[in-house]
Structure 1
Amino acid sequence: MAERNLQTVRDLRRSNRSLLLRRLYFGGPLSRQDLIHTTSLSAASVSNVIADLIEDGLVVEAGALESEGGRPRILLRVNSSALHVVGVDVGETRVRVELFDLDLEQLAETDLPLDAGGFTAPEVAARIRTGLAAVLADEPPGGPALLGIGIGVPGVVQHSPDAVVHGQTTGWDAVPLERMLREFTDLPLFIDNGAVTMGQAEMWFGAGRGSRNTVVALIGSGVGASVVTAGSPYRGSTSSAGEWGHTTVQVGGRRCRCGSRGCLEAYIGAESVIARYLETTGDPAVRDAPDEESALAALLARADSPAARAVLDDTAVHIGAGVANLINLFNPERIVIGGWAGLLLGAGLLPQIRETAREYALHHPFSQTRITLGDLGPDAVTRGAATLPVDRFLAAGGSRARVETAQPAPAAGR
């Protein structure tokens, strides 16, 4: 009984630490009085837990506010320099690695292109290893400890218990990515679908902030989505929910990379948009571009030409129809369009996308949904990947030991 009571006390203390850390992380700086008023904790509990967090170096004072007839209120915030964290975006054409502080402000970054046909597990693992060494090269000895590495990948990620990646469009069949990365790092690893990581970044810091029911759509070489319901990503029974790109928009339509026909990705993914344009013109600026991002940018630069305009208008219609499907299925407060290609396309096509969505969606849910572009730019997947270890750290009440021994599914809400 004594052991059980001790465990209960420890659990309660960890829960209180987590609650206050989250309030300060997402809402700080705040005073102790603010924390008392916005939580169910007593003044004594807040005082004791904050004292512990300050002693651990996780919380620091951030100035003071004058108060009428009393002592100034001391403001508190999470110590952003206490720990560093790495985020990795595994794209189909390159691997991006970034180093962040605890507030997820970028400290270092590197972009490592993948050779044509180089999207193999060994090549990706090698790029991650090189990128990790590059961003950590200037870290001083005895500097902030690394909390962990978050990694966003295309495909379905299952934990059994190590992360295994299934990517039908990329040819990855149960790739043991976590085991491969363990060959060169013993840091805590958090691997998830790239659309889910981007969704969490937009919910924490970007266009989804303040909402509870949002769909964050990623349009890159491929297409995916993070469906956030009641503040958490909906994963389905085997973690494959959100494969928006493989919903059928035309029976018997264009061949998709997944092997099926008529998938949304076959009409709005960057690879498909470029291919459809080149089917009608041999434009060398697009055909001979050094990479997919440059090719799409060149196509958009020709938006006034009949061939480019026809492809872009058709792309806007298909994105809008896909957005309408999301509205009718999930009734979200917001739909956020992101990903490097989504941001490039959306900059000019968003009005057409909204109008098409209005035509195809049910009127009432459409009127309640805001359709917008992501706020965090093309590296949102990388930043979102870094939220995975940070989220676990906050849930563990600031205990690094618990980050290293448990990896629950991330919660997009706050």
Structure 2
Amino acid sequence: MADQAGRNVRDLRRSNRSLLLRHLYFHDQVSRQDLSRATGLSTASVSNVVAEMIEAGIVVEAGAVESEGGRPRILLEVDASRFQVIGVDVGETHVRVERFDLALNELARADIPMSAGHYEPEVVVAAIATGLAAVDCRPDAATGGIGAESAAGGVGGAEILGVGIGVPGIVQGLPESLVHCQTIGWDGVPLEAMLRKVTDLPVFIDNGATTMGQAEMWFGAGPEAADTVFLLIGSGVGASVLVGGAPYRGSSTSAGEWGHVTAVIGGRHCRCGARGCLEAYIGAESVIARYRETVGAPPADGAEDEESELRRIVGVAASGEATPQARAARAVLDDTALHVGVGIGNLVNLFNPERVIIGGWAGLLLANRLLPRIREVAREHALHYPFSRTEIELGSLGPDAVARGAATLPVARFLNSGGAIAARAPMLTSRPRS
């Protein structure tokens, strides 16, 4: 009974600490009195827990404001400069690695190009390792801090809380995460175990659309919307469905594979092996392929990168010219808007979201031109009342949202634990088999 009582007291204290730390993180400078009012905790509890966090170097006093008829109120904030996190976006055209402070301000970045069709797990792990070194995050740092002479001028000795990684496909199991992604040939790849070859930092892995959604919820277009669908359109297509503010993952964590709902029965071949998937009509790779087929051009040969080619197609369509290429570009993009709009209409009918947020590098590039048409088609294919209550918007964090969202994974763990630092894991001396 004594042990149980001790655990209950510790659990309550940890819960209070997490509650206060989360409020401090997501709000500007606040006083102890503000914290008490916002959380419902007594002023004594707030003062005790805040004192602990100040002593631990997690929270600092950041000035004072006058109060009516009393002493000035001391303002508090999380010491974002003392802690740092890494966010990784494993894309099909590149692996992006970014280092942030705790407030998710970017400090350094590295983009490692990926060769089309070469997504072997060892290649991806090597790219991540290259990116970690490029942002001055090496496994042999004695203190766990970053170097003082990084490209971004980071402060030496900052504590790196972990590496968050957004990947395509389904992430199964924690903490030993396995990744399944048919479109790039991954079937139960032990990515977390493989990363132990290149880093001893805590590793957190999730689906890229989910990490993008969390970034937009925290810092971008999604705050204050508990029921939201985030659409990630890049080379392929994914989605994250938030219900009550939390990702809906399904029975085997595969919910949100919007790109692989059937758009056309017996339609175009999809990279997953099926026919008629939505991804086969709206992913960047398929948009480029359909344009090339329409103008009679040979398949892409890698001479032009995917983003540049899609940007060129959008530019040709916007030119107003009457050339065959311009007519083909407009027809393909209009058909793309049709499929995106129908797909969103289906999401509105299925999930009744408050918002649908379109992101991903290709989604932002296409929707800048196509959003009015997408909204029109979605309205035509959704039930009137739920559609009238749904906003369709662009993500506000740009193409970096996946990496920024991946960086929220170690931040979330830090906040939920009340500021506890996750232990480093020993690096493996041999690479696990994939």
TM-score grouping bracket, smaller chain normalisation: over 0.9
Question: Which amino acid in 2 is paired with 1:139?
Answer: G
Q: How big is the alpha-carbon RMSD for the aligned residues of Structure 1 and Structure 2?
A: 1.8
1:372 CA drift (Å): 0.1
Deviation at 1:74, TM superposition (A): 1.5
Question: Are residues 29 and 403 of structure 1, via their aligned partners in 2, closer, same or farther at CA, if it must alter by over 3 Å?
Answer: farther
Q: Is the 2:200–2:425 Cα contact (8 Å) retained in structure 1?
A: no
How far apart in 2 are the matches of 1:64 and 1:283? 66
TM-score by length of structure 2 reads: 0.90
1:5 to 2:5 alignment: yes
Equivalent position SS for 1:190: strand
Q: Is the 8 A contact 2:217 2:223 kept in 1?
A: yes
Give deviations 1:322-343, integer Å, cap 9, x for gaps.
Answer: 1101100000000000000000
Aligned partners of 2:166 and 2:208 also within 8 Å:
yes
1:351 paired residue among 356, 372, 388: 372
The Cα shift of 1:401 comes to 3.8
The unaligned stretches of length 5 or more in structure 1 are 406-414
Alignment of 1:188 with 2:202, yes or no, is yes
Q: CA deviation at 1:264?
A: 0.6
Q: Distance in 2 between matches of 1:6 and 1:104?
A: 36
Secondary structure in 2 aligned to 1:191? strand
Deviation of 1:313 after TM superposition, in Å, equals 0.5
- Spell out, residue by residue over 1:16-68, the C-alpha distance to the aligned partner (whole angstroms, 9 max, x if none): 11000000111121111111111120000000111111111111122222222
Taking a change above 3 Å as real, the CA distance of residues 181 and 208 of structure 1, as seen in their structure-2 partners, is: same
CA contact (8 A) 1:286 1:295 kept: no
SS at 1:372's partner residue?
strand
Tell me how far 1:110 sits from its aligned partner.
0.4
* Counterpart-to-counterpart distance in 1, 2:303 and 2:220: 31
> What secondary structure is seen at the aligned counterpart in 2 of 1:169?
helix
Match for residue 271 of structure 2 among 246, 257, 265: 257
C-alpha distance 390-238 of structure 1, shift in aligned 2 (>3 A): same
**Counterparts of 1:388 and 1:286, CA distance in 2:** 36
2:351 to 308, 311, 330: 330
1:321 aligns with 2:318: no
Distance 2:390 2:275 in 1: 29
Structure 2, unaligned runs of 5 or more = 138-145, 149-154, 321-325, 427-434
Say whether the 8 Å CA contact 2:345–2:382 is kept in structure 1.
yes
Q: Which residue of 1 aligns with 2:391?
A: 370
* TM superposition shift of 1:160: 5.7
Which residue number in structure 2 is paired with residue 112 of structure 1?
112
Q: In 2 relative to 1, CA 379–142 (structure 1 residues): closer, same or farther, beyond 3 Å?
A: closer
- Identify the match of residue 139 of structure 1 among 133, 147, 163: 147
**Per-residue deviation, residues 209-258 of structure 1 (Å, max 9, x unmatched):** 11100000000011010000001000000000000000111111111111
Match of 1:56 in 2: 56
Q: CA deviation at 1:72?
A: 1.8
The TM-score, its normalising length taken from structure 1, stands at: 0.95
- SS of the counterpart of 1:399? coil
Moved more, 396-405 or 95-104: 396-405
Contact map agreement 1:87 1:151 (CA 8 A) in 2:
yes
Tell me what 2:411 maps to.
390
1: CA distance, partners of 2:61 / 2:40:
22
Displacement of 1:115? 1.8
SS in 2 for 1:355: helix
Q: Aligned runs of 1:173-322 on 2, under 5 Å? A: 173-282=187-296, 290-303=304-317, 304=320, 305-322=326-343
Equivalent residues of 1:93, 1:119 under 8 A apart: no
Aligned-residue sequence identity (percent) comes to 66
- Supply the distance in 2 between the matched residues of 1:50 and 1:25 (Cα, whole angstroms): 13
Contact 1:286 1:296 in 2 (8 A): no
Tell me the distance in 1 between the aligned counterparts of 2:164 and 2:17: 23
* Number of matched pairs: 405
Tell me if the contact between 1:201 and 1:387 (Cα under 8 Å) persists in the aligned partners.
yes
Q: Cα distance, 1:283 vs. partner?
A: 6.0
Displaced runs of 4 or more, over 4 A? 282-289, 402-405
The aligned residue for residue 152 of structure 2 is none
- CA gap 1:378/1:135 in 2 versus in 1, 3 angstroms: same
Q: Deviations over 1:173-211 (max 9, x none)?
A: 111111111012111100111001001101111111111
Q: Residues 102 and 390 of structure 1 are in contact (CA less than 8 Å); yes or no, is this contact kept in structure 2?
A: yes
Give how far 1:139 is off. Answer: 2.2
Aligned mates of 1:282, 1:77 — CA distance in 2:
60
State the shift of 1:117 in Å.
2.2
SS at structure 2 position matched to 1:256: coil
Q: CA deviation at 1:290?
A: 2.4
Is the contact between residue 285 and residue 295 of structure 1 (CA under 8 Å) also seen in structure 2?
no
Q: Offset at 1:402?
A: 7.2
Return the alpha-carbon distance in structure 2 between the equivalents of residues 186 and 149 of structure 1: 10
2:185 to 166, 171, 174: 171
Displacement of 1:142: 5.4
Contact 1:219–1:340 (Cα < 8 Å) also in 2: yes
Structure 2: which amino acid aligns with 1:176?
Answer: P
Which digits, 9 at most, give the CA deviation of each residue in 1:92-124, with x for residues without a partner?
111000000000110000000012322110100
Structure-2 residue corresponding to 1:31: 31
**Distance in 1 separating the partners of 2:263 and 2:67:** 60
Q: Which residue of 1 aligns with 2:74?
A: 74
Residues 96, 111 of structure 2: 8 Å contact kept: yes
- Segment drifting more, 331-340 vs 252-261: 252-261
